[in-house]
Structures are given as structure tokens and as C-alpha cells.
Amino acid sequence: MDQMPKVQIYHNPACGTSRNTLALIRNTGIEPEVIEYLITPPSKDQLIKMIQDSGLSVRDVLRKNVDAYTELNLDDANWTNEQLLDAMLEHPILINRPLVVTDLGTRLCRPSEVVLDILPLPQLKAFAKEDGEVIIDEQGRRLK
């Protein structure tokens, strides 16, 4: 029997984009490893690897519209990547989400349909985001 592909999602259930991304993963028939990163943050090494594998910079993965970003004055260009990583691990809300890891790559899935580029299995049925936007048709084809 074939083994189901491994997919991890660093998830925040309070985030619509994260919920839509998780639903798109499940729409392939895959049940991913769901890591609620606010409860169980990645290790520093895991975070560095995800950032490197995604092709993004540390600042690209830094969430800006949260109180901790303002309170810590993280928009100051003098913060080093090492310091930013430490801040993200101390305050996991600063890690932008959802980050998804598959054998095909790692992506920050904003918007949620970015996940389609790294899913190893096709969509099984039509899919609409929580806001009603249809992004997968009845034949499982991507519309945008």
C-alpha cells in the first residue's frame, strides 16, 4: 500500500488564511500534521530551515500587524536576522502563517492557494474559501 505523503502545516486556527490552507490540504485526501505554532513553536533550527527552504528572508516571515511587532520596534532596520529569529521564538505570534512543508517545498501560504504549488496530490472536489471565493472547480482544477 502506498504511504500517504507527509505534509506539515504551522497553523493558527484563529486565522482564516490558515483555515483555508488547511482545508485545501485536506481537499487532496491528505491529513496533515497540524502544528499549532502558538502552542508549540518550531525550534530555532526548524524555523531557519523553513525560511531558507521557502526562499524568503527572515523579515518576509515576520508578522507585522501584531502588537509585539510595534512594541519591540521590529521595523527598526538595526535588528539582525539572529535577533529577529529570537524575537519570533519568544513571541510566536510574530511568525507569519501558515507555513506549509511538503516533499515538494516549503511555502508561506499567503494567499492560501499558494499551497497548491507544493501539494503532492490533486484537489478532489470543488473548493471555496471561507469568504465564498471559488478557487477549485468541480473537476478539481485551479481557477486562479
Q: Give which of 40, 34, 42, 41 is closest to 13, Cα–Cα.
A: 34
The C-alpha atoms of residue 47 and residue 28 are separated, in whole angstroms, by 26
Q: Which of these is catalytic: 15, 38, 66, 89?
A: 15
15 is catalytic: yes
As a whole number of angstroms, the distance between CA 86 and CA 47 comes to: 10
* Residue 41 grid cell: 513553536
The x, y and z cell numbers of residue 54, run together, are 521557502
Known catalytic residues are 15
